[in-house]
Structure 1
Amino acid sequence: MTPTPTLLFQYSALSYNAHRIHFDRSYCREAEGHKDLLVHGPLSLTLMLSVLQSQLAREGDVCEFIDSISYRHLAPLYVNQPMRICVKLQEPTAAKHGKEDLVGKGQHSEEEKKDKDEEQIDTTKQLEAGRNKWNLWVENQEGSLCVKGTAETIKRRTLSETG
């Protein structure tokens, strides 16, 4: 995609970001020393999340949701310069529902739980269908890495309204 001045202006308005590096070319070049208007860091994140969301599974009663993301900007992205937003699944992992997995995630062992707490864990186990890890990155028009990150998704079964 190629970010336009209009996109940067609209994102500035949407996010209440009035920094001149996103809409004033003269300021950006003369005061900040950049060659053109800068793409917002959070806009890069929004675009990565949009591309990732478009790749997530929706099969029957199982939907995949973004659970967490971490990212870092390595180089600036500029207006009117094409960028490539990339996502790649690392390696699918199956959901684990053993006692050891629950303890590893900060849960107490079954011996330490009340009956009600154990029922809540069982419900969670039925809903969770798996987790995936993704690599995310944005390249500029020369193919240089400008933003990199990782995301974790979770697959969950949706509950039917009839039962």
Structure 2
Amino acid sequence: MLLANVKTITTWKGPSKTVSRKKLSFASPKKSGPKRKLPPMDEFLILCDGGITTDSSVTLAEIEMWRVGSLKQYLADRGLVKTGTIGEPCACVFSCIEVKSAVEHNKQLVRDYRDLLNVEGKVISDPNNIPSKLWRTEEESMADWPHVLISDIKEFYDGLSSDGVELSKRLLCEYKENKAYRYYSSG
């Protein structure tokens, strides 16, 4: 039985009830009706909030025993191409077992964004949640900007290294040339 390869399934929700792992190979469509054997593919799929996922120990030979509809459903949940001969969807499913689903990827992006808001152990407020009426325009906030002159920038570059001196000279020359050109062009 293929169930021996499955490690992560604890329960399976069948058509009429949830059955335990010990009874996974048999599910009853009706409580009093005859028991039926589940298809091999159903022993490997787990329905969870992120879509259908599989046990990572599934081999290609086991995937080739899945029904075509199940292969297409697995690929559709991940937004992948569902067409091709039977070998192509099987190979695609086998390779995407390790690939995160779109839901898992979005959850990871949210976690990464929350980590950006954590600075030195303190969580700062999300700037995207600040109401637009609290944002200041550039003209209003320019009064709070520090006054920086070209001489301040030149002194900074002079203090870096010998490369800073060259950069400083070039910066000063370009500034003077552009300033003279602006005076000339403005009349």
- TM-score normalised by the shorter chain: which range applies? under 0.3
Higher helix proportion, which one?
Answer: 2
TM-score (norm 1): 0.25
TM-score (norm 2): 0.23
Tell which has more relative contact order, 1 or 2 (C-alpha 8 A, sep 6+): 1
Higher strand proportion, which one?
Answer: 1
Please tell me whether Structure 1 or Structure 2 has the larger radius of gyration of its CA atoms. 2
